[in-house]
A and B are shown apart, each in its own frame.
Chain A
Amino acid sequence: MLRLPAFEFQPARSVDEAVTLLGEHGDDALPVAGGTDLYANMKLGLFAPRVVVGLRSITALRSIRFDPQHGLRIGALCSLDAIVREPAVAEHYPALAQAAAMVGTPEIRNMGTIGGNLCLETRCNYFNQSAEWRKAMGYCLKRDGNLCRVALHSDTCKAINASDTAPVMHAYDARLSLVGPRGERTVNIREFYQNDGAHANVKRADEILTEIALPLPARGTRSSYRKLRLRKAFDFPLLGVAVAVATDAGGSCTQARIVLNAVGSAPLEVEAAGAILLGTHLGEEIAADAAEEVFKAGKPLENANASLLYRKRMLRVIAQRTLEDVIAPLR
């Protein structure tokens, strides 16, 4: 039977209380929201904090507010299910609703939060394994070892960002609020993630993610998210593609962002693909050219539950389909 290692549980009722508790216990403490990622990892022996600070009672971080001037503000403790069901998300940020609906299972989406999904621990076939398995393998760079099993000469961990909502938030130009003992700071999602699987974001140990702010998309913006996975339900992405494009009244593309996940430790914006779309009247041929840029830019490694070659080849296919989602309504 897989049991959690022993820890003290300290539920926080406010952001201040959570930050104080995390500050007091330093590296001995970890925050938990829905628990679907952290507790599973703890059962595999990947983390063993002495104190777990529970965030779910901080009801102030559970609101979603939409304002037609400024856009959307999402409390980090909103469940993924609440985001799927929120009418303002479906209307103005449909790719976020799509991505949230593709995370895990109905039960996982009831428990899991948007903040938790954005802070999802990076994943790797050499990391998400039982303690016995990892010991027999000799551990890895991300936990307890000094060698990356995926790229033997790499100085950094190659575990992948498998958050479905992260690339979508990037495409919508999200700003994240982090609160710590020195107060609040806001970082653009581009600066939040780092391409190092062992240090995948800039959130400090004594900070919590409190809110995600999405600007109002430009008029005529269309967006979509698709992921590659082995089963239609339940699976982490083997690849993900988020697309947001805006067109002017004449149908010419004025803004284009194409962001990948599950090909590195951070979401990857393929600027060359966006540049191809800019100024064009979006169509199937131009989409194929952009998908070719995605194919060139995405460099998956052999660390997920499908072969590297399959994931590489499917980059072009998933990118093409996601682009067609936003082009089809124009025709």
Chain B
Amino acid sequence: MSIAPSKILATLRVNGRDATLAFHPHATLLEVLREELRLTGTKHGCELGQCGACTVIVDGTPVLSCLTLAAEAIGRSVETVEGLAVDGTLHPVQRAFLELGAAQCGYCTPGFLNAAVHLLEKNLEPSEAEIRDALAGHLCRCTGYTKIVEAVALAGRRMRASIDG
């Protein structure tokens, strides 16, 4: 029986704030976010990279936190669903999901939101095909895909209008 290696003491930058904490070298970013930092918005899904529920943004890129070591996030910027709303005001993508009922049970929603925000940061006028491609790594077991695609398009239109206006 081998003994678990000792913990690493490190600083993680999550949603713009530095947090210094200890975790095992084999702990995933998902586990550290949820269990140490209590940021439970990021969800455990399949935990094998097949569902997208645990998606977070690391250095501006969507990645699967279930297959990323927390140790590999040291020195990088991590953004989770908790960082999307600013001072209690929902992100336009969150507001569109809420208004159109794009979240049913809500379990897949944080992953979808992160992927959608990443898409709209690059392209405020995505076609339906572009939206579906960007969200292709996310499964919704309630199968509410149509509303999700519509909500992303609506958020893009509103974000464009707010820039134009």
A4 interfacial by beta-carbon distance below 8 Å:
yes
> Which residues of B have CB within 8 Å of A108?
49, 64, 137
- Nearest-CB distance from B152 to chain A (Å)? 14
> Which residues of A have CB within 8 Å of B138?
105
Q: Is the CB of B69 within 8 A of A105?
A: no
| Chain A positions 167 through 193: 1 when the CB is less than 8 Å from some CB of chain B, otherwise 0 | 000000000000000000000000000
Query: In whole angstroms, what is the CA distance A52 to B24 when docked?
Result: 13
Query: In whole angstroms, what is the CA distance A116 to B47 when docked?
Result: 19
Query: In whole angstroms, what is the CA distance A240 to B91 when docked?
Result: 41
Query: In whole angstroms, what is the CA distance A318 to B71 when docked?
Result: 42
A6 interfacial by beta-carbon distance below 8 Å:
yes
Q: Is the CB of A234 within 8 A of B26?
A: no
A1 interfacial by beta-carbon distance below 8 Å:
yes
A321 interfacial by beta-carbon distance below 8 Å:
no
B12 interfacial by beta-carbon distance below 8 Å:
no
Q: Is the CB of A111 within 8 A of B134?
A: no
Pick the interface stretch among A36-44, A141-149, A152-160: A36-44
Q: Is the CB of A36 within 8 A of B26?
A: no
Query: In whole angstroms, what is the CA distance A212 to B44 when docked?
Result: 36
- Which single member of B5, B28, B72, B137 contacts A104 (CB below 8 Å)? B137
B136 interfacial by beta-carbon distance below 8 Å:
yes
Q: Is the CB of A1 within 8 A of B5?
A: no
Q: Is the CB of B26 within 8 A of A111?
A: no
Please tell me the size bucket of the interface on B. Answer: 20 to 34
Q: Is the CB of A111 within 8 A of B50?
A: no
For the residues of A in contact with B, the DSSP-based class is loop
A285 interfacial by beta-carbon distance below 8 Å:
no
Which of chain A's residues 4-35 have a Cβ closer than 8 Å to chain B? 4-9, 11, 35
Please tell me the size bucket of the interface on A. Answer: 20 to 34
Chain B: which residue is nearest A10 at the CB level? B25
B68 interfacial by beta-carbon distance below 8 Å:
yes
Given known contacts A35-B67, A39-B67, A106-B137, is B26 in contact with A11 (CB within 8 Å)? Answer: no
Q: Is the CB of A107 within 8 A of B25?
A: no
- Nearest-CB distance from A107 to chain B (Å)? 5
Given known contacts A1-B44, A7-B25, A234-B50, is B67 in contact with A40 (CB within 8 Å)? Answer: yes
Q: Is the CB of B72 within 8 A of A54?
A: yes
- Which single member of B5, B49, B71 contacts A40 (CB below 8 Å)? B49
- Which single member of B5, B64, B68, B134 contacts A7 (CB below 8 Å)? B5
Query: In whole angstroms, what is the CA distance A308 to B2 when docked?
Result: 42
Given known contacts A104-B137, A106-B137, A111-B67, is B47 in contact with A36 (CB within 8 Å)? Answer: no
Pick the interface stretch among B55-63, B82-90, B97-105, B142-150: B55-63
Q: Is the CB of A9 within 8 A of B69?
A: yes
Chain B: which residue is nearest A233 at the CB level? B136
- Which single member of A2, A6, A39 contacts B2 (CB below 8 Å)? A6
Which of chain A's residues 86-106 have a Cβ closer than 8 Å to chain B? 104-106
A3 interfacial by beta-carbon distance below 8 Å:
yes
Query: In whole angstroms, what is the CA distance A107 to B61 when docked?
Result: 8
Known: A9-B26, A36-B67. 4 other contacts (CB 8 A): A6-B24, A9-B69, A50-B2, A105-B136
For this complex, 18 residue pairs linking A to B, each with C-beta atoms less than 8 Å apart, are A4-B26, A6-B4, A6-B24, A9-B25, A35-B69, A36-B49, A36-B64, A105-B136, A106-B137, A107-B49, A107-B55, A107-B63, A107-B115, A108-B137, A110-B63, A111-B68, A233-B136, A234-B50
